[in-house]
Copies of this chain bind each other. A is one copy, B any other.
Amino acid sequence: MELEKGMVSIIQIFHKYSGFKCKLKKAELKDLINNEMNLGQFKVRDADLLFADLDQNGDLEIDFKEFIALIAMVTSACQELFVPNNS
């Protein structure tokens, strides 16, 4: 069940960096991105912009629904790379 394993990994990483508080602070989001996502070194300014974009309810924390929106964005951006010669 690769799909389920994939979804569980996403949940576990979120909880790992949020300390099971179900919300990520900006520093926690930055650590997660720097350690778990190959997006190159994430500067403070990048983290600020991304954080503001993700924090839809403006509570200065990223809940799971806001976090999964980031995952959906990144995954959607990458998925075409997996199509043989992008036919």
Contact = CB atoms under 8 A, between A and B. Distances in A.
Nearest to A32: B3
A13 B6 CA distance: 10
Interface of A: 1-15, 20, 22, 32, 36-38, 64-65, 68-69, 71-72, 74-76, 78-80, 82-84, 87
23 contacts: A1-B36, A1-B38, A2-B36, A3-B10, A4-B37, A4-B38, A5-B6, A6-B8, A6-B9, A6-B10, A7-B10, A10-B75, A11-B75, A15-B83, A20-B83, A20-B84, A20-B87, A64-B76, A65-B72, A68-B75, A68-B76, A69-B72, A72-B72
The oligomer's copy count stands at 2
